[in-house]
Amino acid sequence: MRKVLTIFFLSLICTTLAAQKVTFMPQWTAQAQFAGFYVAKEKGFYEDEGLDVTIKHIGNTSTETVMDQLLSGKVDIAEQQLLPSMIERSEGAKLVNVWQLTQVCALCAVAKKPLSTPEDLEGMTIGRWTTAYIELADVLQIINGINAKWVSAFNPVTLFMYGAIDATLCTSYHELNSILLKKGNIPEENILRFSEFGFNSPEDGLYVTEKYYKRNKPAIEKFVRASRRGWDYARQNVKEALEITRKYTDEGHVITNDVMQEHMLKEYLKLIVNPDTGVADYAPVKEDVFINLNKLLYDIGYITRHLDYKEMIKCEE
Amino acid sequence: MRGIRSFSTRLSLNIVYFTSILFVITLGIVAVSSTRLISEEAETSSRHLLRSSILQIEKTLKSVEATVEACSWDVAEDIYRPDKLFSYTQSVVKESKIIRGFGIAFASDYFEGKKYFCPYSYKDSEGNIHTRNIQGPEYNYFYSDWYLLPSLMKEPVWTEPYHGDAGLGVPIITYCYPLLDEENNVYAVLVADAPVQWMADITKDIKPYPNSEVFLYGISGSYISLGNDSRYDGETLLSVALQSQDAAKAHAVCEVIINNDNGIIKFTDEGQRTKFMVFGSLSNGWKAAISCEYREVLKRAWKMNFNMIIIAIFGLIILFIICYTTIRRLTQPLMEFSKTAMSIAEGNFNTALPKINSDDEVKDLRDSFEHMQTSLNSYIKELQSTTAVKERIQSELNIASSIQMSMLPKNFPDHNLVDIHALLKPAREVGGDLYDFYLDGDLLYFIVGDVSGKGVPAAMFMTVARTSFRFAASMEVPVNEIVSAMNNAACEGNDSNMFVTLFVGKVNLKTGDMEYCNGGHNPVVLVTPDGKPAFMDVKPNLAIGLFPDFPYVAQSMHVESGSRFVLYTDGVTEAERADKQQYGDGRLLAWAEGIQKMDSSEEACESLFSSVKAFVEGNEQNDDITIMIIKIQ
C-alpha cells in the first residue's frame, strides 16, 4: 500500500512539474504578423511560464480555417479577427476572446484606377482571401451598397498583379507593401483605407473555446502574459524579432523577403497601439465597439442573434 | 659638376616632360576610345547573348505550351470519359522531358457529384510516376493562382515559381491552359508543372564574363530562382534594391526594368562595382537580364593600356638618354667656347678657339667668336692708342691749366687801404673766366671777365683778354679806353666770334674816387659800410670781341671807406641744383648782407664759394666760377 501511495504521489508531482502543452495557431502562414508569438517561443517566455507551446501554421492552400482547427480541438489557442469570431459565435461556436492584440482596422483596397470612396468599387472584380476578411468584405459591400464581383483566392495580390482582377483587398502591413515591392509604384489615390471610412474595428486577438477557457484559465493567462512579453520584446528588438521570424518563414517555405517582413512588422506594430491611449496597452475590445459591431451584423442579417459582451470578451485588463 | 642644372639635362628633361604630356593625352584619348568601344561591344554582345538565351527559354516554354495545347484536344474529345483522363496526365508526364507534373482541374461540379475533380500525375525524383485526384478541402485548387488566373483571364498563363503541394517538392512554374465551353465559360484548366531547374540548366552556361549573372523576373518583378542559387528566393527587384546602401538610386534602376520591355541600365552595386545590365522580355511577360561588371569587360583594355604605359615609360627613358647624349655632344663645343671666353676675359686674346667640323649654328658661333676675338684685339690696340693720346692731351691740358692759373695773380697785396682777394674755379681743366688787378701807386685797376664758351678756346681767349688788360692798364688811361683797347685787341682775328663780358674798375685808394666800365657783365654788388648790399648802377655796354671800336662808356662814383665790392661771373648766379633751380641774384644779395661781419676778403671769397657749393648740393659744376672781393679801407 505504501508503495502504491508513493508511486501515486510521485506521478502527481511529475504531472504538476511537467510543462503544460499548448498548441497555438496564428491565422495564416508564417510571417512577421506573428513575430511576437515567435519571439515568446524562441526566447523561452512560454517556458518561463511553464508552458510547452507548439506553434502550428495553417497550409497556404487549405480552405480549412483556423476556427475549424480550434473548434475541432486540433489547436488550443488560435489567433483570429474579431468580426469572423463574432459571426462564428452567433452561429453557435463557443468562442471566447482572451486577449486583444491589434486595435485598428488594417484593411485596404487597391485598384487599377483611383478609389476615393468605397462606392468606387462598384462593378469591379475584387480579389479577397479565402479565410480572412471574408465577412468584413461582405459587410462593407452591404453597408456601402456595392455590387462587386468577389474572387476568393489564396493570393489575390497575384491575380491583381497579372491584371486578372480590377482590385484586391489587402492589409496595410502586408499585401499593400507586397504590391509596392513588385509593381514599383502605386498612386496613393488608387488605395482605399477602410479605417478612414468609419470602419475601424479591432482585428487580431486570441481565441479559445469556452470549454478550454474553463479548464485552462491559468494556462491561458500564462500564454497571454508570455505572448505580451514576446510582443513587447519584438517592439523593442525589431531586428532580432525579424531574424526569429525568418526561421519560421524558411521552415514554412514561405516565399517572401526581408524587406517585406521588416515593413510588415513595423506596420503591424503601429496597429497594436491603442488610438485612445497612444500606447501598446493591449486593451480589450471596448464594450460599445462590440455592441455597435453586433448591431451592425444583426441589422444587415449577417447574424441572427445578439451576442453578450461579457460572455465573449474575457480579456484581463 | 652642374648635374641637373646642366643645359643638356634640363633640355632633355623638358623634352621628356613635354613628350610625357603628349603621351598622357594620347594615352588618355586611346584609353577612353578603347574603353568606350570595348564597352559598347560588350553591351552589344551581351544583348545578343540575352536574346539567344531568351529564345532558348522560350523554345522550352513553347514546347510545354505545344504539349498542353495538343493535349487539350484529346481532353475535349474524351471529356465524357473522366476516368480516361488519368491516362492522359500519365502519358504527358511520361513523354515530356520538361513537364514533371500534369493535371486537368475541372470546375466545381462539372461532373455531377464531384465538387473537386483534378486528375494529376507527377514524376518523382527517381522517375516514378504517381497519379491521383487532387481534391478535398485540404487542397482547394479553386483558389489557387494556377486555376484562377486562366479562369479569370480566359487565356493561357505561366505562373511564377512556387512550391506546389501536389507532390513535386521542388520550386515549379506552371503553364495553365483554360478549356472554354461554347458559352466561353472555363470548365477546366490544364496545368503543366515544370521545375525551374531546367531554366537554370539553360542559363548556367550564359557567362560572357566570369562574374556575369543571369536573372529572370516574373510578371510581378519577383526573382525567379535559378538552380541552387537561393540568394534571391522570395525577393523582388525592388526588395533587393531597398536593401542596398543607395536605395533611391537602386529603386530608380529597378523601375527602368519594370517599366520597359528591353534595354540596358548602368549602375554601381553594393560592392561599388560598376555594372551594366541588359534586359529583355519573354513572350509570357517575364523578363530576363544579364549583368556584367565593367571591370571584367575592360580587363583587356586595361591590360593593353598598362602595356602601353610600360612601353611609354621605357620609351621616355630611352628618349631621355638619347636626348641627353645628343645634346651633350652638340653642346660640348659651347663648353669649350665658355672656357675660351673665360681665357679671353682674363686677357688672353689670342687663345685658340675649339675646332668645329660641322657646318651648322655652332660653326657660325665659332666664326662669330673668331670675329669677336679679332675685333677685340684691334679694339684693344685702338683703345691703348687712344688712351695714350688722351693721356697726352690730359697732360697738356693740365699744363695749360697750370699756365692759365699761373697767369692769374695768386699773391694779394697786404695794403693798408685795400683788402682784395679773388678765386677762380674752372669747370674743366682750363676755363674761360679771368680776374686780375694791378696796383699803380694809390690806383687799383681790377677786372673780372667771362669768355664765351669753355675749355681750351675760352682759355686762350681769356689769355688774350688778360694780356690786353695788363697792357692797357699800364697806359694809365680811363677805364673805358682800357676796355675799348681790349675790345679792339679781341676783335682782331676773332674768326671764331668769341667774346668776353667783363667789368673793369679803377679806384683811387686815397680819395675813394672810382671809375668803372661794364662790358656786358653781371652788375657788381656794392656793400656799403653799414652792410647794405645792392647791385651797382652799371651801363650795359657790350661784351668785348664783338664790334671793333665800340664806344664804351665809363661811369664813376665815390667809394666810402669800408665799402666792399663783390665781383663775380655768371658761374655764381647760374649755379644749378639738380632741380634746375639757380643760385640767383636774390641769394647773392642775401649772402652779401653778412659780408661786413667777415674779417677779410679771402674769407668772404671762400664764404661765397661755400654758399654756392652748399646750394648746388653736390650737383656737377657746369660753368667756371670767379669771385673777386675788394674792401676799400
Pick the CATH number of A19-104+202-312 from 1.10.486.10, 3.30.2320.50, 3.40.50.10310, 3.40.190.10: 3.40.190.10
Q: Are residues B398 and B424 in the same domain?
A: no
pLDDT for the residue numbered A12? 45
Q: Tell me whether residue B46 is in a domain.
A: no
Say how many domains are in chain B.
Answer: 3
User: Which residues of chain B register pLDDT less than 50?
Assistant: 1
Torsion angle in degrees (nearest 10) through CA of A213, A214, A219, A224: 40
Average pLDDT over residues A277-305: 89
Give SS3 for A137. Answer: helix
Pairing of strands B625-632, B564-568: antiparallel
- Which three-class secondary structure string do you get for A29-60? CCCHHHHHHHHHHHCCHHHHCCEEEEECCCCC
For B193-231, the pLDDT digits (tens) are 988 877 777 777 788 888 888 888 887 777 776 655 666
| Total residue count of chain B as it appears in this document | 633
What ipTM describes this predicted complex?
Answer: 0.79
User: Measured at the alpha carbon of residue B276, what is the angle toward residues B274 and B282, in degrees to the nearest 5?
Assistant: 150
Q: Tell me whether residue B25 is in a domain.
A: no
pLDDT for the residue numbered B287? 87
Cβ within 8 Å, pair B219-A161: yes
Å from A289 to nearest chain B CA? 33
Question: What DSSP string describes B76-103?
Answer: HHTTT-GGGHHHHHHHHHHH-SS--EEE
Å from A27 to nearest chain B CA? 16
Q: Whole-angstrom Cα distance, residue B174 to residue B172? A: 6
For A126-174, the pLDDT digits (tens) are 999 887 777 777 877 887 888 889 999 988 988 998 899 999 999 988 8
More confident residue, B84 or A13: B84
For A81-106, the pLDDT digits (tens) are 998 899 999 999 999 999 999 988 89
Q: Whole-angstrom Cα distance, residue B490 to residue A74? A: 161
Which chain A residues are Cβ-neighbours of B154 within 8 angstroms? none
Which chain A residues are Cβ-neighbours of B138 within 8 angstroms? 59, 62, 64
pLDDT band of A31, cuts 50, 70, 90: very high
Cβ within 8 Å, pair B145-A61: no
User: Is A239 in the B-facing interface, judged by CB distances under 8 Å?
Assistant: no
Closest residue to A161, CB basis, from B140, B165, B220: B220
Q: Tell me whether residue B325 is in a domain.
A: no
Cβ within 8 Å, pair A184-B238: yes
Q: Tell me whether residue B32 is in a domain.
A: no
Q: Are residues B379 and B451 in the same domain?
A: no
Which chain B residues are Cβ-neighbours of A155 within 8 angstroms? 145
Which chain B residues are Cβ-neighbours of A180 within 8 angstroms? 238
CATH 3.40.190.10 residue spans of chain A: 19-104+202-312, 107-197
Residues 6+ apart with CB under 8 A from B549: B484, B487, B488
pLDDT for the residue numbered B621? 84
Q: Tell me whether residue B521 is in a domain.
A: yes
Q: Are residues B480 and B526 in the same domain?
A: yes
pLDDT band of A14, cuts 50, 70, 90: very low
> Is pLDDT at A41 greater than 80 in this prediction?
yes
Q: Are residues B394 and B493 in the same domain?
A: no
Which chain B residues are Cβ-neighbours of A62 within 8 angstroms? 137-140
Q: Are residues B371 and B510 in the same domain?
A: no
* Residue percentage of chain A with pLDDT more than 70: 92
Q: Are residues B403 and B418 in the same domain?
A: no
Best residue in B236, B244, B260 to probe A by mutation, most A CBs within 10 Å? B236
Q: Tell me whether residue B504 is in a domain.
A: yes
Q: Whole-angstrom Cα distance, residue A312 to residue A301? A: 20
Question: H-helix or E-strand containing A254?
Answer: none
Q: Are residues B488 and B380 in the same domain?
A: no
Q: Are residues B437 and B568 in the same domain?
A: yes
Which chain A residues are Cβ-neighbours of B254 within 8 angstroms? 184
Q: Are residues B474 and B594 in the same domain?
A: yes
B134 close to B166: Cβ distance less than 8 angstroms: yes
Q: Tell me whether residue B485 is in a domain.
A: yes
Which residue carries 441589422 as its cell? A299
Q: Are residues B577 and B547 in the same domain?
A: yes
Best residue in A126, A134, A170, A257 to probe B by mutation, most B CBs within 10 Å? A257
Cβ within 8 Å, pair A164-B255: no
pLDDT for the residue numbered A56? 94
CATH number at residue B600: 3.60.40.10
Q: In what order do the strands lie in the sheet with B513-519?
A: B433-440, B443-451, B500-508, B513-519, B555-558
Domain residues for the domain of B86 are 78-199
Q: Are residues B393 and B504 in the same domain?
A: no
- Which three-class secondary structure string do you get for B462-504? HHHHHHHHHHHHCCCCCHHHHHHHHHHHHHCCCCCCCCEEEEE
Nearest CA in chain B to A255: B234
User: Is B148 in the A-facing interface, judged by CB distances under 8 Å?
Assistant: yes
Q: Which of B150, B180, B199 is the last residue of a domain?
A: B199
User: Is A92 in the B-facing interface, judged by CB distances under 8 Å?
Assistant: no
Which chain B residues are Cβ-neighbours of A125 within 8 angstroms? 152
Q: Are residues B155 and B102 in the same domain?
A: yes
Q: Tell me whether residue B86 is in a domain.
A: yes
**Inter-chain CB pairs, A–B, below 8 Å:** 96
Cβ within 8 Å, pair B149-A158: yes
For B69-93, the pLDDT digits (tens) are 998 888 888 888 888 888 889 999 9
Q: Is B374 exposed, middle or buried (0-12, 13-18, 19+ CB in 10 A)?
A: exposed
User: Is A180 in the B-facing interface, judged by CB distances under 8 Å?
Assistant: yes
Which chain A residues are Cβ-neighbours of B219 within 8 angstroms? 161-162
> Is pLDDT at A15 greater than 50 in this prediction?
no
User: Is A262 in the B-facing interface, judged by CB distances under 8 Å?
Assistant: no
Amino acid at position B93, single letter: V
* Residue percentage of chain A with pLDDT more than 90: 52
Q: Whole-angstrom Cα distance, residue A146 to residue A126? A: 11
Which chain A residues are Cβ-neighbours of B220 within 8 angstroms? 158, 161-162, 182-183
CATH number at residue B193: 3.30.450.20
> Is pLDDT at A198 greater than 70 in this prediction?
yes
Pairing of strands B171-180, A204-209: unpaired
Å from A17 to nearest chain B CA? 38
CATH code that applies to domain A107-197? 3.40.190.10
> Is pLDDT at A10 greater than 70 in this prediction?
no
Which residue carries 679806384 as its cell? B507
